[in-house]
């Protein structure tokens, strides 16, 4: 039978059991058609005296995965999700949720409103709305604690974490795990329910289990630290506290009202923007979606230093055999020990078992030459940032590799065109710029050369996803996108020190904005000698003022190398705790006098605007040049590479929310203060303002 005139939900009958099958690819999102189809299935159950129960299951790879984001921002059509939930809760006959894949968000709330829940063993469950600046609005907050307890429910709701089937069964969320055919197991399960006359079991009628009220206060503090600046996690605690003492119907109304308010909030708009931008970033501009990537089954990494070790670990974690090439057995032996330690860290975190760790480490081969690379599909070059050294490696690799093997450079700022020109097959040359630590950081800046083959670009995007990274394709540009923009923030931070700001004032402003660490604390962490070397490499391309702004060099000359020497911009105690240092203030005062700069009191507002708008202005130039395909790509890079606060959407979204006319006005003001060389507004910003548009229209 199919009593529903709806392609998204079909209804079949197995004796007295109705089976509603949702089929709304790719993730069975709760579109209007799905919602209407589920209501139709409930109608059929209630209108048919011979129908005893209803099973809700899904076709495809997953159970209902949540709301259809395409419907956000437009008037919602009835039935709304809350109406579907209310019908399930009020149904006089048992309804069973049969789940596979993931049951998330609104899909999970559908399951919570059912009488019983059954799932396959590898299914997962969660309420991830908080990651979009939202919270459950259709009963997740008022039902989940009644099933698994306040503490466990609060962890899932406030952090958006998922749990697996066994944990769900142990906590009382699931009634059964199906090890065989899910649909058959669900029908058998519901028949037992009918035969035993257990009937309907409404979650809404369950009592709230007892809990320690002190847990809520402790959780607030934890969430404030973990999700700095984000509103939704704190509101989650408020709602959980409310539901423990409020009648169910009233609590459900308050939950819905809170969710509705959050949908319109700036933070949720920003987070939803990033969610969409991260998916859009996987599309390579100008490359058809049907271009097949080349197979990658065996890889190599050249350079056993810090980056090479991290990259090698990434490949091993993705079950890719790796040949690590170095200049000496000693350097390779040190690298192998470090890689083993990284894998050990994954064991401690529960990401892999000890057996898996041993198997993965066994996939690593060490070599001091290129002779064994004939079977390699892709090699990542991660040697020192010297163009001549890299060219030598490229030429040696081309002689050793198959004609279709890809050579990827991990350079963070060198010209990929010059590197590609050093070999006879430039179509195989691409960039894969991993961020340090490579085995942890999610961002991967993939770089296209002008002659990079389309399938080579498709390959590194697919490989990035396989590695668990967020790959973003960028174009030729010194520093690409992330480091090119960072260099402008670094420049302004240094200039601000010359003009009278202190390192701790600048750091406080930027961490107060939402960055996880300030630029000067970060410099101390990296090492002042490393910063000085990077400055020396770029010295010839600097402006005269940048060349004269040699604060880093003076700190190194004073033996202040950062945390490792106990002093850098800050002073560090034996436990590594940093504190402001009057000696640095004196160094800065002497530097200002030497440079002929009259130091002054600088406001926090000026610090924030100069650091952020210098980056935004450079990003606009990056877009003008085509070094980034979309403003959203830049937001993705900064949110995932340098900790730009996600709830502010990334630098381009933040600038648009602030208003491009305001940004333009600020750029013109600082161009007068600091110089046209540093703040002349990008042509794109000027044009967009004149047209009354923003980066996103």
Highest mean pLDDT (candidates 433-437, 525-529, 613-617):
613-617
Percent of the chain, pLDDT > 70?
99
**pLDDT at residue 72 tops 70:** no
**How far, in Å, CA of 547 to CA of 542, rounded?**
6
Q: Is the peptide bond before 692 cis (omega within 30 degrees of 0)?
A: no
What 3-state class would DSSP assign to 122? coil
Of 68-77, 181-190, 340-349, 471-480, the least confident: 68-77
Q: How much is the average pLDDT of 309-333?
A: 97
Question: Would you say 312 and 335 are in contact if contact means Cβ atoms under 8 Å apart?
Answer: yes
**How far, in Å, CA of 158 to CA of 219, rounded?**
9
Residue 46 CB: number of other CB atoms within 10 A? Answer: 15
Angle at Cα 26 formed by Cα 25 and Cα 29, nearest 5°? 75
The string of pLDDT tens digits covering residues 156-192 is: 999 999 999 999 999 999 999 999 999 999 999 999 9
The string of pLDDT tens digits covering residues 44-67 is: 999 999 999 999 999 999 999 887
Q: pLDDT grade, residue 73 (50/70/90)?
A: low
- What DSSP character marks residue 76? P
Quick one: pLDDT at residue 552? Answer: 96
Residue 15 CB: number of other CB atoms within 10 A? Answer: 11
Strands 124-126 and 162-164: antiparallel
Pull the structure tokens for residue 530: 């490393």
The string of pLDDT tens digits covering residues 529-549 is: 989 988 998 899 999 999 999
Q: How much is the average pLDDT of 594-612?
A: 96
**How far, in Å, CA of 423 to CA of 392, rounded?**
10
Residue 402 CB: number of other CB atoms within 10 A? Answer: 12
**pLDDT at residue 1 tops 60:** no
**pLDDT at residue 499 tops 70:** yes
Quick one: pLDDT at residue 65? Answer: 87
Q: In the CATH scheme, what is the code of domain 299-474?
A: 3.40.50.720
Catalytic residue set:
433
**How far, in Å, CA of 647 to CA of 266, rounded?**
8
Question: Would you say 405 and 433 are in contact if contact means Cβ atoms under 8 Å apart?
Answer: no
Quick one: pLDDT at residue 5? Answer: 53
Tokens 């229209």 correspond to 697
Quick one: pLDDT at residue 537? Answer: 82
Hey, what CATH topology would domain 482-601 get? Answer: 1.10.1040
Average pLDDT, the chain: 95
Q: In what order do the strands lie in the sheet with 406-409?
A: 364-367, 322-325, 299-302, 378-381, 406-409, 429-434, 443-447, 470-474
- The dihedral built from the CA positions of residue 514, 517, 521 and 524, taken in this order, carries a sign that is negative
Q: What are the backbone angles phi and psi of residue 299, rounded to the nearest 5°?
A: -130, 165
Quick one: pLDDT at residue 4? Answer: 59
**pLDDT at residue 107 tops 90:** yes
Quick one: pLDDT at residue 105? Answer: 95
Question: Would you say 28 and 107 are in contact if contact means Cβ atoms under 8 Å apart?
Answer: yes
Tokens 């009382």 correspond to 172
**pLDDT at residue 2 tops 60:** no
**pLDDT at residue 598 tops 60:** yes
What 3-state class would DSSP assign to 95? strand
Q: pLDDT grade, residue 385 (50/70/90)?
A: confident
Hey, what CATH topology would domain 9-263 get? Answer: 2-enoyl-CoA Hydratase; Chain A, domain 1 (3.90.226)
Q: Give residue 114's Cα distance to chain centre.
A: 32
Domain ranges of the chain: 9-263, 299-474, 482-601, 605-690
Pull the structure tokens for residue 358: 């041993």
Same fold, 482-601 and 605-690: yes
Residue 486 CB: number of other CB atoms within 10 A? Answer: 18
**pLDDT at residue 476 tops 70:** yes
Which H, E and C letters describe 435-500, residue by residue? CCCCCCCCEEEEECCCCCCHHHHHHHHHHHHHCCCEEEEECCCCCCCHHHHHHHHHHHHHHHHHHC
Q: pLDDT grade, residue 76 (50/70/90)?
A: confident
The string of pLDDT tens digits covering residues 261-280 is: 999 999 999 999 999 999 99
Quick one: pLDDT at residue 383? Answer: 94
Question: Would you say 316 and 347 are in contact if contact means Cβ atoms under 8 Å apart?
Answer: no
Hey, what CATH topology would domain 605-690 get? Answer: 1.10.1040
């Amino acid at each position: 039978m199919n009593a529903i005139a709806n392609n998204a939900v079909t209804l079949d009958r197995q004796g007295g059991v109705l089976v509603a099958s949702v089929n709304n690819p790719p993730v069975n999102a709760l579109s209007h058609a799905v919602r209407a189809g589920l209501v139709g299935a409930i109608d059929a159950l209630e209108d048919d005296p011979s129908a005893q129960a209803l099973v809700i299951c899904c076709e495809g790879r997953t159970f209902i995965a949540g709301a259809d984001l395409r419907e956000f921002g437009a008037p919602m059509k009835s039935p709304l999700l809350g109406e579907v939930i209310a019908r399930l809760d009020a149904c006089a006959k048992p309804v069973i949720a049969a789940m596979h894949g993931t049951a998330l968000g609104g899909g999970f709330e559908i399951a919570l409103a059912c009488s019983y829940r059954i799932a396959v063993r590898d299914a997962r469950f969660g309420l991830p709305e908080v990651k979009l600046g939202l919270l459950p609005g259709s009963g997740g907050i008022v039902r989940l604690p009644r099933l698994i307890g306040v503490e466990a429910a609060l962890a899932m709701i406030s952090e958006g974490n998922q749990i697996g089937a066994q944990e769900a069964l142990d906590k009382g969320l699931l009634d059964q795990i199906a090890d065989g055919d899910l649909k058959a197991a669900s029908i058998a399960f519901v028949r037992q329910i009918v035969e035993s006359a257990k009937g309907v079991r409404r979650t809404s009628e369950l009592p709230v289990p007892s809990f320690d009220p002190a847990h809520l206060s402790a959780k607030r503090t934890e969430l404030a630290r973990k999700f700095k600046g984000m509103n939704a996690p704190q509101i989650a605690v408020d709602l959980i506290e409310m539901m423990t003492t409020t009648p169910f119907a009233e609590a459900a109304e308050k939950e819905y009202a809170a969710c509705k308010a959050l949908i319109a909030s700036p933070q949720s708009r920003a987070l939803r923007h990033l969610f969409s931008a991260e998916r859009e970033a996987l599309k390579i501009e100008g490359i058809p979606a049907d271009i097949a990537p080349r197979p990658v089954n065996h890889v190599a990494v050249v350079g056993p230093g810090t980056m090479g070790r991290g990259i090698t670990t990434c490949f091993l974690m993705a079950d890719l055999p790796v040949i690590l090439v170095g200049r000496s057995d000693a350097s390779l032996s040190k690298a192998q020990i470090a890689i083993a330690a990284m894998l050990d860290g994954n064991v401690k975190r529960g990401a892999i078992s000890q057996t898996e760790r041993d198997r993965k480490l066994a996939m690593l081969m060490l070599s001091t030459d290129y002779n064994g690379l004939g079977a390699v599909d892709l090699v990542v070059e991660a040697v020192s940032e010297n163009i001549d050294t890299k060219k030598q490696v490229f030429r040696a690799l081309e002689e050793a590799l198959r004609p279709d093997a890809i050579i990827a450079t991990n350079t963070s700022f060198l010209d990929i065109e010059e590197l590609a020109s050093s070999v006879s097959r430039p179509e195989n040359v691409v960039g894969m710029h991993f961020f340090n630590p490579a085995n942890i950081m999610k961002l991967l800046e993939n770089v296209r050369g002008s002659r990079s083959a389309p399938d080579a670009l498709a390959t590194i995007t697919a490989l990035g996803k396989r590695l668990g990274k967020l790959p973003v394709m960028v174009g030729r540009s010194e520093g690409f996108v992330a480091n090119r923009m960072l260099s402008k923030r670094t420049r302004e931070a240094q200039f601000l020190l010359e003009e009278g700001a202190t390192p701790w004032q600048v750091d406080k402003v930027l961490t107060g904005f939402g960055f996880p660490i300030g630029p000067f604390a970060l410099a101390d962490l990296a090492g002042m000698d490393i910063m000085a070397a990077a400055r020396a490499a770029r010295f010839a391309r600097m402006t005269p003022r940048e060349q004269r702004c040699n604060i880093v060099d003076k700190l190194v000359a004073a033996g202040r190398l950062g945390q490792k020497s106990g002093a850098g911009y800050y002073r560090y105690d034996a436990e590594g705790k940093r504190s402001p240092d009057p000696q640095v203030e004196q160094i800065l005062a002497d530097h200002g006098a030497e440079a002929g700069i009259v130091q002054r009191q600088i406001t926090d507002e000026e610090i924030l605007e100069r650091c952020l708008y210098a980056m935004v202005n450079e990003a606009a130039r990056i877009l003008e040049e085509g070094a980034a395909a979309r403003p959203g790509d830049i937001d993705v890079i900064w949110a995932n590479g340098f900790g730009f606060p996600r709830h502010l959407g990334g630098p381009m979204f933040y600038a648009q929310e602030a208003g491009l006319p305001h940004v333009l006005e600020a750029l013109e003001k600082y161009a007068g203060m600091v110089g046209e060389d540093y703040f002349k507004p990008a042509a794109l910003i000027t044009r967009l303002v004149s047209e009354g548009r923003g980066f996103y229209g």
